[in-house]
Structure 1
Amino acid sequence: VGEILRPGIRGQAGELSSRGFADTSTGCAAARAPQPVVMSEPKAPAPPPGDTYKGWLFKWTNYIKGYQRRWFVLSNGLLSYYRTQAEMGHTCRGTINLATANIVVEDSCNFVISNGGAQTYHLKASSEVERQRWITALELAKAKAVRMQAESGESGQGSGTRNSEVQSTLRTLGSKVEDLSTCNDLIAKHGSALQRSLSELEGVRLGGDTGDKIRQVTERATLFRITSNAMINACRDFLALAQAHSKRWQKALQAEREQRVRLEETLEQLAKQHNHLERAFRGATVLPPPLANPAGDSKVSGKGDVSDEDDENEFFDAMEDVPEFITVPADPKRSGSNVSGISSEIGMDDQSPQEVELVRKRRTRIPDKPNYSLNLWSIMKNCIGKELSKIPMPVNFNEPLSMLQRLSEDLEYHELLDKAAKCQNPLEQLCYVAAFSVSSYSTTVHRTGKPFNPLLGETFELDRLHEFGYRSLCEQVSHHPPAAAHHVISKRGWTLRQEITLASKFRGKYLSIMPLGTIHCIFEKSNNHYTWKKVTTTVHNIIVGKLWIDQSGEIDVVNHRTGDRCHLKFAPYSYFSRDVARKVTGVVTDKDGKAHFVLSGTWDEKMEVSRVMQSSRGGGENGTEGKQKTVYQTLRARELWKKNPLPEGAETMYYFSLLALTLNEQEEGVAPTDSRRRPDQRLMEQGHWEEANAEKQRLEEKQRSMRREREREAARAASAAEDGVPQDNYKAQWFERTEDPTTGEVTHIYMGGYWEAKEQASWDMCPDIF
């Protein structure tokens, strides 16, 4: 019907125009037709004046440093921050897109910006008024960013190969609109004619002549019906075409959004790869190893750090070729050691032939780790926010060592303390002690397994008197909170003791382990007494991704006799940083604060030491506010400590070092409470994990029963006493709880008797815990 009507429609345009119908309908069509034409390729609106907002805010960094002052810039829907204003031209510390971000106000000055988990900024303004200004600017920028994103998504449909298809569709839709407009005009025309005919028919009926008029009315009514049907068909075609292309455009828009997400992920991966390549390039060129720089050429380190919290100090070597201050002859007795010397007086005592004969051959392998599948989230989802020591976990998460044995692994590089005992200069001795404090973390880089929580009263001895001249004893002295006391005595002239309490929290994505307690190292010859604490260990990607471990925080190694100090900084990992991963830097100063040595390296690989020739304080960058940096001019660095290589096949043996492989080796004569005698740990090492889980539950229930019995005894004793206050009557077997004379802390100190009991094979005083 539409094709029959089309010639007539075109021919009657003049008459329709004269009656005013075409003008009205054409005006409606013209009002609608330009709408799709604009969709071809519009330009993005230019940002209005005042679109950028800048200022200082305090950003949360970590629990060590808390909130740090940062320069924030809000522009074009992006919030970026810099350490100083001078960095705006070259180093952006981070950027968040407000179009996909949530803005939450916490209190009068604090607010949080997050884009769904990938990035979260905890910010604090200097006042409530300043915070409200930022919130207003952020909300306006977010609204504009969302609007621009939507417009960009629509305009993106008309680009590339899809542009011609869209234009063709728009032309078809425009043609359908013209047909609808013409049909509308015809309906109006034929409707008016039909109405006139009906009026005339009424007049004729009164006059008596009705035959011709009735026939005319019937023709015009038929024409009106045909035109109405054409209008209905044209509307149906237009609606079907619009619906079909609407679905296609919605799919195209969704595809564009998914492609944008993939591009953002790809860009992030490229940024990480670029960062790794830059690190590799800097390691190969800017920071050559000492042997590659025999001429003593200058080098610069500590610069170009783009991490959020870069170091306060910068170090670089002296330009002139000065005499080396470190001269150490090779020790033929210990040529395989990875510990270098600082003074020529440092060496190891020769072992007597009798001692060499008594050295037993230790094992170099353990059974391979079974490949057990486990739904991690099903176990961990109910443990968020709890302490690690209170979470009942299967042995699938463990490694076949107890926490007491892991604590004994701090002695992996005991040679550092042996050499320190030979030092005449206390500042050089402090360098070795600081390197020893760093070396204890080198065994953790691949060790993602959780050690067994020791039972109360459990012990572990590490007797290496004939091999290396030291004896070590650990005892679990408390269960809640879990605490272990450790005492080491060496015939090389040093004593090491510590009590470590672990505080840990599971946060869903990562696990933080905070060791609490002080480590003491005393040298007999000089009577130097050093103390330090451990840094925080973080296990990342608990739920999704590959587990990896990071160490972050600061350590102060203090000589209480002389007042000398070494301040060490463990930089947290950030893939935005161009600096080397797992970086550690330190400065050795005397009691007056004058720097004498600079330490640098990584906690998983090596540490180097350089003597300071000159230091100066520099101002902030381009006169901006902030901390001043101390620039140290040093001699050429010398290697102080280097990590021992892992044994062959370590990836199938929990990444144990050679020392760790020997810790759980069965040994005669040890106490009945020794970790080697723990049955669930032994079963796990042998690969019998189901049996190990059942045995672990039995031991834990036995420990709970013993605790309940002690509580009943304490209650009975309290009822018999005058005060009536129950007191825990548990006392450690080999350690005594007392106040440390140096630090004033209440700690457990070894009171003797263990090695004498071992010589006599008299263990009657030991509790039955296994």
Structure 2
Amino acid sequence: MASNKDGNQSGSGGGGFFSFLGSSLTNIAKSVNGMLGHEGLEVVNPDGGNEDAGAEAQRGRWKQEDRDNYWKMMQKYIGADITSLVTLPVIICEPMTNLQKMAELMEYSYLLELADECEDPHMRLVYAATWFISVYYALQRTWKPFNPILGETYEFVNHAGITFIAEQVCHHPPIGAAHAENEHFKYDITSKVKSKFLGNSVEVYPLGRSRLTLKKSGVVLDLVPPPTKVHNLIFGRTWIDSPGEMILTNLTTGDKVLLYFQPCGWFGAGRYEVDGYVYNSEEEPKILMTGKWNESISYQPCDLEGEPMAGSTLKEVWKAAEAPKNDKFQYTYFAHKINSFDTAPKKLLASDSRLRPDRYALEIGDVSKASSEKSRLEERQRADRRTREAKGDEFKPKWFNLSNEICPTPWGELEVYEYNGKYHEHRAAIDSSDHVEEADAKTTEFNPWQYEDSVVSA
């Protein structure tokens, strides 16, 4: 196990042979960087060191001239938070926005039904923690989602009775808020990220607040996820790792789950592995959890030393669904549903991500149009901001309100947005109507704008 019963992390390195291997890898990377003329860039092979480092550096989705030009532009940002500073090209994007990505957590919502119906408070945490782990299979995609426009929304229905609404509530810094609900649970999140650009990689810190309420028991759960690191951002094959601790706390009882996501080591050792324990409020281990976040998670009762109980067996609680083979954007079947109008409600909001012309153009393979439309939307957003500033107005989200709560996180403080309940009223009124036109990406104009008369600079 990577976490002992006191929650201490292990397996993070040490001296001797493994230290020597790590040092050797660093030296190889430095020599490759010098050979390519890109000092300070580290090219890391996720499969291990048995492939020529120079060849690895040349792999990836970028053309040589694109990589060189982009690196020249990005050098000045090393060490900086690039979350709001840099406009990234469409060629590294997937046809989905960050708001839609927030909805991918809903795929395995059956785990929350099990948690809600479970009488055992510790097994309840096993189901809930596994639900939060399950989304990492989708988050390993190496394509970047589009940044939402201020006021953009995403609606999602027709899955397990869930109503999901997300809204981009702030542009600088980018903050999205979402609310999901069905008969078993309520889920609320204010999502903000902080990043650190390291040259050929970027570290992403999730300054978010996630709250999950199980309706039958009334317990409220709070999540602190691990950070993420994107390797080989410009040179080499892009890949993603999320090493560190995930902590899920039952705010009602004090019970918690502490899991450790192993970092990818030499020859890929430890990649995808996650393990840890469910603790009671006295911080005694009750259930161990182990598995791989891209395959399956299992659990087993344990003693006070964290060892499996005599006579117990390891039982699987979740297994990743089969994904399409050779999908261009590494999408799961559920990710395709996220973009589909089959999961959209009647009279879709005109601000919905599905209707973005740049997203839709990329989805159908028109990269040139996607790029031009992305630029047009970004300029219109700037024009909307100028109009707002000239009028002395402040942007106010429609479906979420800025609360007075400031949430501390391991990476900084976060202003919390709360769901105001108005979306359910809006949706109920529409669903009760007999005459509703269906939205279509080809005929419905994307419209998240606060002002219709904002002037776009030539």
TM-score of the superposed pair, with normalisation by structure 2: 0.78
Contact preservation (8 Å) 1:598, 1:609: yes
In 1, Cα distance between the equivalents of 2:160 and 2:308?
37
Q: Aligned with 2:84: secondary structure? A: helix
Structure-2 residue corresponding to 1:531: 222
Following TM superposition, by how much is the alpha carbon of 1:519 offset from its aligned partner in structure 2, in angstroms?
Answer: 0.9
Is the counterpart of residue 94 in structure 1 residue 20 in structure 2? yes
Following TM superposition, by how much is the alpha carbon of 1:512 offset from its aligned partner in structure 2, in angstroms?
Answer: 1.7
Number of matched pairs: 393
Structure-1 residue corresponding to 2:118: 423
In 1, Cα distance between the equivalents of 2:355 and 2:19?
52
Following TM superposition, by how much is the alpha carbon of 1:382 offset from its aligned partner in structure 2, in angstroms?
Answer: 1.6
Deviation digits for residues 40-85 of structure 1 (CA, Å, limit 9, x no counterpart): xxxxxxxxxxxxxxxxxxxxxxxxx99x998xxxxxxxxxx62xxx
**1:513 is matched by which residue type in structure 2?**
V
Following TM superposition, by how much is the alpha carbon of 1:399 offset from its aligned partner in structure 2, in angstroms?
Answer: 0.3
**1:734 is matched by which residue type in structure 2?**
W
Is the counterpart of residue 575 in structure 1 residue 231 in structure 2? no
Q: Alignment partner for residue 423 of structure 2, among 738, 751, 754?
A: 754
Structure 2 unaligned blocks of 5 or more: 1-7, 32-47, 54-60, 437-446, 453-458
Structure-2 residue corresponding to 1:562: 253
Q: Alignment partner for residue 437 of structure 1, among 132, 136, 139?
A: 132
Following TM superposition, by how much is the alpha carbon of 1:389 offset from its aligned partner in structure 2, in angstroms?
Answer: 3.5
Structure-2 residue corresponding to 1:451: 145
Instruction: Using the aligned pairs only, state the percent identity.
Output: 29
- Superposed, 1:349-364 pairs within 5 Å as none
Is the counterpart of residue 713 in structure 1 residue 391 in structure 2? yes
In 2, Cα distance between the equivalents of 1:692 and 1:563?
48
**1:377 is matched by which residue type in structure 2?**
D
Contact preservation (8 Å) 1:739, 1:745: no
Q: Per the alignment, do residues 451 and 745 of structure 1 end up closer, same or farther by CA in structure 2, a change over 3 Å counting?
A: closer
Is the counterpart of residue 636 in structure 1 residue 313 in structure 2? yes
In 1, Cα distance between the equivalents of 2:110 and 2:12?
42
Q: Alignment partner for residue 591 of structure 1, among 270, 281, 284?
A: 281
Contact preservation (8 Å) 1:504, 1:513: yes
| Larger relative contact order, structure 1 or 2 (CA cutoff 8 Å, min sep 6) | 2
In 1, Cα distance between the equivalents of 2:415 and 2:18?
46
Contact preservation (8 Å) 1:400, 1:685: yes
In 2, Cα distance between the equivalents of 1:537 and 1:506?
12
Contact preservation (8 Å) 2:357, 2:370: yes
Contact preservation (8 Å) 2:406, 2:416: no
Contact preservation (8 Å) 2:298, 2:315: yes
Q: Aligned with 2:301: secondary structure? A: strand
Structure-1 residue corresponding to 2:169: 477
TM-score of the superposed pair, with normalisation by structure 1: 0.48
Deviation digits for residues 644-694 of structure 1 (CA, Å, limit 9, x no counterpart): 0102x4x23311111111222235511011111111111111111111111
In 2, Cα distance between the equivalents of 1:739 and 1:678?
32
- Superposed, 1:248-327 pairs within 5 Å as 268-269=49-50
In 2, Cα distance between the equivalents of 1:567 and 1:69?
16
Q: Aligned with 1:269: secondary structure? A: coil
Q: Per the alignment, do residues 403 and 478 of structure 1 end up closer, same or farther by CA in structure 2, a change over 3 Å counting?
A: same
User: For the aligned residues, what is the CA RMSD?
Assistant: 3.2
Q: Aligned with 1:695: secondary structure? A: helix
In 2, Cα distance between the equivalents of 1:451 and 1:97?
34
In 1, Cα distance between the equivalents of 2:196 and 2:414?
24
Deviation digits for residues 192-219 of structure 1 (CA, Å, limit 9, x no counterpart): xxxxxxxxxxxxxxxxxxxxxxxxxxxx
Runs of 4+ in 1 over 6 A off after TM superposition: 741-745
Q: Alignment partner for residue 107 of structure 2, among 405, 412, 432?
A: 412
Contact preservation (8 Å) 2:21, 2:266: no
**1:527 is matched by which residue type in structure 2?**
G
Structure 1 unaligned blocks of 5 or more: 1-64, 71-80, 83-87, 102-113, 120-266, 273-370, 617-629, 715-727
Q: Per the alignment, do residues 671 and 115 of structure 1 end up closer, same or farther by CA in structure 2, a change over 3 Å counting?
A: same
Is the counterpart of residue 487 in structure 1 residue 179 in structure 2? yes
**1:712 is matched by which residue type in structure 2?**
A
Q: Per the alignment, do residues 377 and 536 of structure 1 end up closer, same or farther by CA in structure 2, a change over 3 Å counting?
A: farther
In 2, Cα distance between the equivalents of 1:691 and 1:599?
47
Is the counterpart of residue 768 in structure 1 residue 437 in structure 2? no
Q: Per the alignment, do residues 631 and 525 of structure 1 end up closer, same or farther by CA in structure 2, a change over 3 Å counting?
A: closer
In 2, Cα distance between the equivalents of 1:593 and 1:494?
26
Structure-2 residue corresponding to 1:137: none
**1:663 is matched by which residue type in structure 2?**
I
Is the counterpart of residue 602 in structure 1 residue 292 in structure 2? yes
Q: Per the alignment, do residues 430 and 747 of structure 1 end up closer, same or farther by CA in structure 2, a change over 3 Å counting?
A: same
Following TM superposition, by how much is the alpha carbon of 1:444 offset from its aligned partner in structure 2, in angstroms?
Answer: 2.4
Is the counterpart of residue 701 in structure 1 residue 379 in structure 2? yes
**1:637 is matched by which residue type in structure 2?**
L
Q: Per the alignment, do residues 372 and 96 of structure 1 end up closer, same or farther by CA in structure 2, a change over 3 Å counting?
A: closer
In 2, Cα distance between the equivalents of 1:696 and 1:504?
22
In 2, Cα distance between the equivalents of 1:750 and 1:585?
33
**1:534 is matched by which residue type in structure 2?**
P
Contact preservation (8 Å) 1:538, 1:550: yes
Q: Aligned with 1:433: secondary structure? A: helix
Structure-1 residue corresponding to 2:336: 661
Contact preservation (8 Å) 2:299, 2:317: yes
Deviation digits for residues 368-397 of structure 1 (CA, Å, limit 9, x no counterpart): xxx995723312432233514321122111
Q: Aligned with 1:381: secondary structure? A: helix
Contact preservation (8 Å) 2:209, 2:407: no
Is the counterpart of residue 378 in structure 1 residue 378 in structure 2? no
In 1, Cα distance between the equivalents of 2:421 and 2:257?
32
Q: Per the alignment, do residues 271 and 565 of structure 1 end up closer, same or farther by CA in structure 2, a change over 3 Å counting?
A: farther
In 1, Cα distance between the equivalents of 2:226 and 2:220?
20
Q: Per the alignment, do residues 457 and 496 of structure 1 end up closer, same or farther by CA in structure 2, a change over 3 Å counting?
A: same
Following TM superposition, by how much is the alpha carbon of 1:536 offset from its aligned partner in structure 2, in angstroms?
Answer: 1.5
In 2, Cα distance between the equivalents of 1:487 and 1:679?
25
Contact preservation (8 Å) 1:670, 1:758: no
Q: Which is richer in helix?
A: 1
Contact preservation (8 Å) 2:249, 2:257: yes
- Superposed, 1:459-474 pairs within 5 Å as 459-464=153-158, 467-474=159-166
Following TM superposition, by how much is the alpha carbon of 1:632 offset from its aligned partner in structure 2, in angstroms?
Answer: 5.2
In 1, Cα distance between the equivalents of 2:120 and 2:377?
50
**1:391 is matched by which residue type in structure 2?**
V
Following TM superposition, by how much is the alpha carbon of 1:416 offset from its aligned partner in structure 2, in angstroms?
Answer: 0.7
Structure-1 residue corresponding to 2:44: none
**1:698 is matched by which residue type in structure 2?**
R
Structure-2 residue corresponding to 1:319: none
Q: Report the structure number with the largest CA radius of gyration.
A: 1
Q: Per the alignment, do residues 380 and 458 of structure 1 end up closer, same or farther by CA in structure 2, a change over 3 Å counting?
A: farther
Deviation digits for residues 308-367 of structure 1 (CA, Å, limit 9, x no counterpart): xxxxxxxxxxxxxxxxxxxxxxxxxxxxxxxxxxxxxxxxxxxxxxxxxxxxxxxxxxxx
- Superposed, 1:25-40 pairs within 5 Å as none
